[in-house]
Amino acid sequence: MKLPSLLNFVTDDLAIDLGTSRTRVFARGRGIVVNEPSLMAYDMPSREVVAVGLEALELEGRASEDIQIISPLQDGVVADSTFAGKLLSNYLKKARDGRSSISRRVLISVASDASDIEQYALRYASKEAGVSNVHFINKGLVLILGAGIDPDDQRATLVVDVGAGTTTIAAMVHNHLIFTRTLKLGGNDMDKALIDMVKSNHNLHVGPRTAERVKIELGCAVPLDQEQTTMVKGRSAVNGHPEMAFVNSIEIHEAIEPVVARISRAVQDALESLPPEASGDIYDRGIILAGGGSLLTGFDERMMKDTELAVSLTESPARAVIRGLGMLYENPLALRRAILKTD
């Protein structure tokens, strides 16, 4: 009887973009195989996980008091290592598609300025998920690769990635990062600002999904030419009954403006920190935007106004990081340079 090869029990090289809002998994040779919310639902009395990802999202705002909906990641870092491990384990099982329980290599993007504690929490979560051969990858570098920049490009490139929990600003010249900064601010902060605004202006409690819908429909980084309104439904802050209200684009813009302004200021600070020759390159080629938050209406216009530079949006902005991680498997030199050295 012929024994099966050990290679049959080893699945693809994998790459993971473990984001505050969504988790994406790339399998070498198959592309993106998981793209789901970084959410879990668990039963508080038993601490058992009852739903993950899209299923947990459907329960958000609708589940009983015993069911808690959580994201194990906050502001781009692991907040609960145990639940993050369970989330990773679930998504890795989906990515492997029953092929095996082992991966040759797993790449996970991490902010280059992540603290030792933040890196330890992620490594612990990886072990909880059964991942042993894991490499932490500099998020700034893969972000630029995923934005379509040749790693050997001799000119400087600046990319701004606005995610749900963080904003990453990175500049690269010839496969070397010359600037990177992670701001713990992103699309979720806009959602929180909208939740607070609706409560303050309309005495109405709304959830994160409603806030995100409002942001997508009428959120704008610059004032809209014509005032528009949208309806929101929630629980009255006065009597606790179901209720509705109309919110307008003016109050929506005013609510998210402080978040947009802080991101813009961080970008301007980054530009002021660059070497003179790099500044000249970026003057010629402009700023590249990535991340789901960059899709906010008027965000590119706002960046152009505040920086006085050309601004462009990369293809499929929300997938820039996972796309860059996948590209590393085809560029061994870039992969070696992107691995973060950890103790």
Q: What is the mean pLDDT of residues 22-30?
A: 93
Band of the pLDDT at 12, cuts 50, 70, 90?
confident
Q: Are 218 and 228 in contact (CB under 8 A)?
A: yes
**Which is nearest to 208 in space by CA: 185, 224, 230, 232?**
232
Question: Judging by beta carbons within 10 Å of its beta carbon (0-12, 13-18, 19+), is residue 231 exposed, middle or buried?
Answer: exposed
Helix, coil or strand: residue 218:
helix
Please report which residue ranges of the chain form alpha helices under DSSP H: 54-59, 81-96, 116-128, 139-146, 187-202, 208-218, 249-273, 276-285, 299-307, 320-328, 332-338
Residues of the chain above pLDDT 70, percent: 94
- CB neighbour list of residue 142: distance below 8 Å, 6 or more residues apart: 109, 321, 324, 325, 327, 328, 338
Residue tagged 């607070």 (tokens): 196
- pLDDT, position 343: 56
**To the nearest whole number, what is the mean pLDDT of the chain?**
91
Q: Are strands 67-70 and 14-18 parallel, antiparallel or unpaired?
A: unpaired
The token duo for 111 is: 């902010």
Q: Are 187 and 293 in contact (CB under 8 A)?
A: yes
Q: What is the mean pLDDT of residues 183-199?
A: 97
pLDDT at 17 over 50: yes
Radius of gyration of the CA atoms of the chain, in A: 21
129 or 239, higher pLDDT: 239
Amino acid code (one letter) for 154: Q
Helix, coil or strand: residue 98:
coil
Amino acid code (one letter) for 153: D
- pLDDT, position 1: 44
Q: Are 195 and 302 in contact (CB under 8 A)?
A: no
**Which is nearest to 162 in space by CA: 170, 172, 173, 154?**
170
Q: Are strands 134-138 and 311-313 parallel, antiparallel or unpaired?
A: unpaired
Name which of 114-128, 161-175, 276-290 the model is least confident about.
Answer: 114-128
- pLDDT, position 97: 72
pLDDT at 4 over 80: no
Q: What is the mean pLDDT of residues 153-159?
A: 96
95-111 pLDDT tens trace = 887 655 566 789 999 98
pLDDT at 63 over 50: yes
Question: Judging by beta carbons within 10 Å of its beta carbon (0-12, 13-18, 19+), is residue 152 exposed, middle or buried?
Answer: exposed
- pLDDT, position 2: 45
Handedness of CA 299, 211, 316, 341 (dihedral sign): positive
Predicted model pTM: 0.89
Compute the distance between CA of residue 247 and CA of residue 232 in angstroms, rounded to an integer. Answer: 7
Q: In what order do the strands lie in the sheet with 31-37?
A: 31-37, 22-27, 14-18, 106-110, 134-138
Torsion angle in degrees (nearest 10) through CA of 299, 305, 311, 312 = 40
Percentage helix, strand, coil, to 5, in the chain? 40, 30, 30
- pLDDT, position 98: 60
- pLDDT, position 340: 87
262-298 pLDDT tens trace = 999 999 999 999 999 999 999 999 999 999 999 999 9
pLDDT at 11 over 80: no
Q: Are 298 and 218 in contact (CB under 8 A)?
A: no
- pLDDT, position 45: 87
Band of the pLDDT at 323, cuts 50, 70, 90?
very high
131 or 284, higher pLDDT: 284
Band of the pLDDT at 342, cuts 50, 70, 90?
low
- pLDDT, position 103: 65
- pLDDT, position 6: 45
pLDDT at 181 over 90: yes
Compute the distance between CA of residue 30 and CA of residue 287 in angstroms, rounded to an integer. Answer: 31
DSSP label at residue 291:
S
